[in-house]
Amino acid sequence: MEKISRRRFLKGTIALGAGALLSIYSDGSFRLALAQENPVFRMRILHTNDHHARIEPVFSGNNPVHGGVSRRKALIDKIRRETALPTLVVDAGDVFQGTLYFNQYNGMADLEFYNAMGYEAMAIGNHEFDKGPQALADFITRAKFPVLSANITVAPGNPLAGLIKPRTIIEKDGKKIGIFSLTPEDTGVLSNAGAGITFTSAIEAARQQVAALKAEGAFTIIALTHVGINVDRRIAREVGGMSMIIGGHSHTPMRPMNNVDFPPYPELIAGPDGKPVVVVTDWEWGRWLGDITVAFNAAGTVIDLQGNPTEVLPSLPVDQGFENRIAVFRGPIDQLRARVVGSTAVDLDGSRANIRSRETNLGNLVAEAMLAKARNSGATIAITNGGGIRASIPAGPITVGQILEVLPFGNTLALVTLTGAQVVEALNNGVSQVESGAGRFPQVAGLRFTYDPSLPASSRVTSVTVGGAAIDPNADYVVVTNNFMLTGGDGYSVFTRGRNQVDTGFILSDVVEEYIAANSPVNPVVDGRIAIGAAPATTPAQPSVPTPATLPATGGALTPLAWLAGLGAAALAGGAALQRTARNSPEEASNPTEEVAEEVVH
């Protein structure tokens, strides 16, 4: 019988048809029962994704807001102590890149903590290739858990040859849990995989792995993916045989994370066989700990689940052993962070939502620094990808550490001669995926442009001016960019077709540091160099409903009548029950925390 705390009592039930029953509780949680079966197996799954070297908590100014591996460790240990169920702990990729800890330790510091937290499987994300194959090979070799991807092919002689496994089977209470992983197909564009590594179809790899795991006797199959929630949904709809997808890459908060209303945690999608597929992801940076308990029938199909992600707040206890090790790792980091190189009179905006969708003053500063450095080489235009700008800087002194957090990749300045038509092509690539927050969004100097997001992706740029005059499609322009983009990174293949390609060797972070030191206090403004054209007034198209089952959001005000259309389809599909209970659950935070958008990650 379900335990109900004093804070939580049953307010009422609603019959939804097809035997489905929705129970609503006073704290805003619910139980959705769709299958009247007794489970043969239950398991609790704790999951994270897009850690991005967040060994320390995420800070807003000087105040910790979320996360940190020390509190995560204490929380995982607490859950393991308090639950009688078998527990699985997994990560959906992108452990690498994002703070100075990665610059200094190449993922080895993160790995020490992941090994100690008892992770049992990890997907390979695109950022695992940021320092080339050797850094990932070192990580895999020292990991005490399988590091997986089923859609990566490695040529003989590569440091990663023989190291990447497509799948694993983990036994829990005698049940074989099959797990396979997927990496973004465009990782070769997004990162620095290098020669000899190819990324194949995620959909086809998923089909192959499901078949292989079934042949190996898996009781149920989990896809541990780093391909983004939209691809996860497509996999759920098109590939049968999985019970769950635990994802990453898109940095998607699920309700109640970050106070969003949609998607809910978890999301339920009917697969091609009509069976439910549970889709979950855990936002980013260890801000929350994903936590879901799943019950299965004898066929390995989900028939009941409880979703209870926990916000990793500063008020949670820490693991003292981890705190001691962090202090050791922090020594060189603090020395690096501390040196002041200049100052800014204003906050410099590098937030993920802005840097990938519009002009920002930090984007302007970086682009202007690039152009100033390259002007003696004839450059008149600077174009850099917003996804390479990883943090904001508050008004006040600017240190080396802050600049390295803004620009952690070690990219160098590169020069290329393009025609005006090719410049426009580059800008069109830059705004082609603005809806999805892709890192290719261009931050620029030396030109102004307008784009209309309602137009086809390849032709959204409606005007470009250089020096106050319309760009000449036949004229030549020397463009300064970064070495990643020069080789076609982030879809800028047009740069590979340019002439006079030169990698200058100047490190971008050093160039920006030099510019700030020479111009402090810097005071960049948003001056309208990137404008969004008015889209035609049209009635928005109603989104299609490709999935016959979506679970309602957990937490907050509940409006049962708004659920009925979605839940009716869910009941007919017949799949799962959602139950958030007080049993075996960490204490929920009473006050949600505001979003702190300070760094950007592909």
Query: Which DSSP string do the residues of 76-142 spell out, in sequence order?
Result: HHHHHHH--S-EEEEE-S--S-SSHHHHHHTTHHHHHHHHHHT--EEEPPGGGGTTHHHHHHHHHHH
Looking at residues 578-601, what average pLDDT do you find? 29
From the list 317, 257, 319, the residue with the least C-alpha distance to 285 is 257
Q: What is the pTM of this model?
A: 0.71
Element (DSSP H or E) covering residue 69: helix 69-82
**363, pLDDT greater than 60:** yes
The pLDDT score that the predictor gives to residue 286 is: 96
CA angle 292, 296, 297 (to 5 degrees): 165
The rounded distance, in Å, linking the Cα atoms of 258 and 281 is 13
The rounded distance, in Å, linking the Cα atoms of 519 and 413 is 20
CB 22 within 8 A of CB 567: yes
CB 26 within 8 A of CB 273: no
Q: 33 falls in which pLDDT band (50, 70, 90)? A: low
Burial (Cβ within 10 Å: 0-12, 13-18, ≥19) of residue 18: middle
Looking at residues 251-265, what average pLDDT do you find? 88
For 437-452, the pLDDT digits (tens) are: 999 999 999 999 999 9
From the list 78, 166, 83, 184, the residue with the least C-alpha distance to 121 is 166
For 109-142, the pLDDT digits (tens) are: 999 999 999 999 999 999 999 899 999 999 999 9
Looking at residues 165-171, what average pLDDT do you find? 98
The pLDDT score that the predictor gives to residue 256 is: 92
The rounded distance, in Å, linking the Cα atoms of 505 and 210 is 46
The pLDDT score that the predictor gives to residue 99 is: 82
For 504-531, the pLDDT digits (tens) are: 778 899 899 999 999 999 999 999 999 9
Residue 522: DSSP 8-state? B
Rounded to 5 degrees, φ, ψ at 565 are -60, -50
Burial (Cβ within 10 Å: 0-12, 13-18, ≥19) of residue 215: exposed
For 198-235, the pLDDT digits (tens) are: 999 999 999 999 999 999 999 999 999 999 999 999 99
Q: 580 falls in which pLDDT band (50, 70, 90)? A: very low
Quick one: the chain helix, strand, coil %, rounded to 5?
30, 25, 45
% of the chain at pLDDT higher than 70 = 82
CA angle 155, 246, 598 (to 5 degrees): 90
| Domains detected in the chain | 10-322+544-579 (3.60.21.10), 347-524 (3.90.780.10)
Q: 58 falls in which pLDDT band (50, 70, 90)? A: confident
Q: In whole angstroms, how far apart are CA 278 and each of 300, 497, 542?
A: 13, 44, 25
Residue 436: DSSP 8-state? G
The pLDDT score that the predictor gives to residue 504 is: 79
Looking at residues 266-294, what average pLDDT do you find? 94
Q: If you average pLDDT over every residue of the chain, what do you get?
A: 84
For 30, the 3-state DSSP assignment is strand
Looking at residues 490-501, what average pLDDT do you find? 93
For 75-115, the pLDDT digits (tens) are: 999 999 999 999 999 999 999 987 889 989 999 999 999 99
Looking at residues 246-274, what average pLDDT do you find? 91
First CA to last CA distance, the chain:
44
